[in-house]
Structure 1
């Protein structure tokens, strides 16, 4: 050392403080991803020039040692199992994250296995973990390595980890159950997935709480996301047979919801007059079923936008947020839950 103190690299946070705006506003001004008033834009650019801040990721990486690349890890083990159409939900998510990264002029790398030695040599400034499990081991490893992480959906065992974007399942699932009740469904069964993530945990918790509030008997049946079509049908058939069948069935995945409709038709049940069907994901399976199936759209475009924004904000040095960012799923009401005739009196 020659006794001189190394000058700290100027960050986007410094520019935000100088321009008296938020870090996200600075990010939007440089990326052009959202409209910013000309006066604010001029103030930001002037502050950046005064501080010597270069918004170009490649040039900035030479000074800061950063790569300008963000990692993405998709956690659900069954996300890519089966035919491509079955993976539509996750294709939407990955594509949306990639699009947001391109808009922000940041690189994206898919990380299939964090423990693969080749991954250790890939420079990434931070990593987005999508749909983590409870006490997720990948998130644990990233935190151990000191890699800045953001999750799409919360780790349900880490409520204190607020660098997360989560879905408001309570509102969407309660609205779905209210709709089924208003359509005359007295007995509503939930075919819940078995993956230990927020999607399964929170939807199941909301269903059980709703049943308790309304004095309904809860009926849940595990339906593993890893089942084949025939395996799923084998679980569904006995549920729909006999006098104790429910008036409505909420199925975790849209492909199994479509199979539920096929099983119902084979047993001579009319959808929705004899049986209402809804899904907790939306895809081609729910949209093209006969009749089209009511579904909860997980709003992956919104999740991706907020997650990328949160990651860039974290890398810019922002303080830890007090709570996770919340995105609301969209409920798509379709003919499978809209009765044209009155329900049976015993339902």
Structure 2
């Protein structure tokens, strides 16, 4: 038996003990009957979320008051981008007096729908959603049933009609590939994400635009769907780099893909950037610790998370209730390091001459 497991039927006394406050303070937070310091309120709401304590939150919601909870659904918690996003959202939400219930869909639409239903049952005051790439009537229905504000972050689609915070992904792809072309590369491959995911489609559009701008033909054989997954990227990169005429540069659509690509380069006995130049998108925390240090197009993750929370809270407190859906597009930034150089003169299967 796990001694650290929450009580099966947590009550207000359990919440008070975990938050290290009095029962009266918990009651004041949940019922908004008396002012409570922001830090204390956040601690109580964290305890409520950790224990799964919902009866009073449900009662407050029925009386027209909020639960003090925000739902956050990310597409893949193992992706460094989403890990950083969670941190930014939680910090901004806590500053606003809210606790965050975190859900991970793992790129699975069925799990995403289950999480939406769970958040509805928890009577959250709003939801921040990094959606899976697959449009569905079930998700649209689940979002409608929530009856609370929803803000999309990172990924969007015309099906939603909600507030959104996005990166300019087309520009990110354009700047990444334009940088590679500047070294003289002509055989430039792309390890992409799933075609159904908006970020992948937009980054691919930027890749194609850069090729056109550089006078290079687009060849679908040089583009592989790596699914935004490290292992799929590794397999696709190994196949691509073993080819008789391999690419001299590869654009990785996110940092998980870049990790798989770098593993493949090392396992095949190749060198980056001497044999294969690499540029990616995301700029994860340890990109500067790679050898070579990774050239990336950075996303302003903290600003994206903070903006999503700000949008959501403005809908929750009704200060923006009359406004139409808003989309904030954030600019990427190319971070030049050491993973790109001029291409080798002649490339054959597994060797350079």
Q: Same fold (TM over 0.5)?
A: yes
Contact 1:131 1:198 in 2 (8 A): no
Could you tell me how far apart the structure 1 residues matched to 2:272 and 2:327 are?
39
User: Is 1:327 aligned with 2:319?
Assistant: no
Indicate the residue corresponding to 2:99 in structure 1: 107
3-state secondary structure, aligned to 2:178: helix
Match of 2:227 in 1: 224
**What residue is the counterpart of 1:90 in the other structure?**
82
Work out the CA distance in 2 between the residues paired with 1:227 and 1:153. 19
Measured in 2, the distance between the counterparts of 1:236 and 1:182 equals 23
User: 1:281 maps to what in 2?
Assistant: 282
In the TM superposition, what are the counterparts of 1:1-347 in structure 2 within 5 Å?
64-74=64-74, 76=75, 79-80=76-77, 86-111=78-103, 115=114, 119-135=119-135, 137-158=138-159, 161-194=161-194, 196-218=196-218, 219-226=222-229, 228=231, 232-284=233-285, 286-317=287-318, 318=320, 319-321=322-324, 323-337=326-340, 339=341, 342-345=342-345
**SS of residue in 1 equivalent to 2:217:** coil
Rounded Cα–Cα distance in structure 2 between residues aligned with 1:281 and 1:195 = 18
2: CA distance between counterparts of 1:106 and 1:95? 14
C-alpha distance in 2 between matches for 1:305 and 1:140: 27
Does the aligned pair in 2 maintain the 1:258–1:289 contact within 8 Å? no
TM-score (norm 1): 0.69
Equivalents in 2 of 1:285, 1:144: separation in Å?
40
- C-alpha distance in 2 between matches for 1:253 and 1:309: 26
Q: Cα gap change, 1:155/1:255 in structure 2, threshold over 3 Å: closer, same or farther?
A: closer
Q: 1:193·1:222 contact (CA, 8 Å) conserved in 2? A: yes
After superposition, give the CA deviation of every residue in 1:248-285 in whole Å (9 maximum; x if it has no partner).
Answer: 10123324323323433444433213210122233256
Whether the 8 Å contact between 1:162 and 1:320 is mirrored in structure 2 is no
Instruction: Give the Å deviation of 1:343.
Output: 3.4
Structure 1 counterpart SS, 2:274: coil
| Per-residue CA distance 1:304-340 (angstroms, 9 max, x = gap) | 1110111111223313346411122332222001x2x
In 1, are the aligned partners of 2:211 and 2:217 still within 8 Å (CA)?
Answer: yes
Query: Does the Cα contact within 8 Å between 1:70 and 1:126 map onto a contact in 2?
Result: yes
Cα deviation, residue 165, structure 1 = 0.8
Aligned to 1:53: none
Deviation at 1:220, TM superposition (A): 0.6
* Residue 130 to residue 165, structure 1, CA distance change in 2 (3 Å): same
Aligned to 1:13: none
Task: State whether residues 132 and 155 of structure 1, in contact with CA within 8 Å, keep that contact through their aligned partners in structure 2.
Answer: no
Contact 2:154 2:165 in 1 (8 A): yes
Deviation at 1:139, TM superposition (A): 5.0
Mark the runs of 5 or more structure 1 residues left unpaired by the alignment. 1-30, 32-59, 81-85
3-state DSSP of counterpart to 1:73:
strand
Unaligned runs of 5+ residues in structure 2 are 1-37, 39-59, 105-110, 348-353
Maintained 8 Å contact 2:228/2:256: no
Deviation at 1:132, TM superposition (A): 4.2
SS in 2 for 1:313: helix
CA apart distance, 1:187: 1.8
Using the TM superposition, give the Cα deviation of residue 101 of structure 1 relative to its aligned residue in structure 2, in angstroms.
0.6
* Cα distance in 2, alignment partners of residues 163 and 118 from structure 1: 21
1:150, distance to aligned residue in structure 2 (A)? 0.9
Q: Report the CA distance shift for 1:149/1:258 in structure 2 as closer, same or farther (over 3 A).
A: closer
Q: What is the CA-CA distance between 1:103 and the residue it aligns to?
A: 1.2
Contact 2:163 2:325 in 1 (8 A): no
Q: What is the number of residues matched between the two proteins?
A: 277
Q: Match for residue 22 of structure 2?
A: none
- Identify the residue that residue 56 of structure 1 maps to in structure 2: none
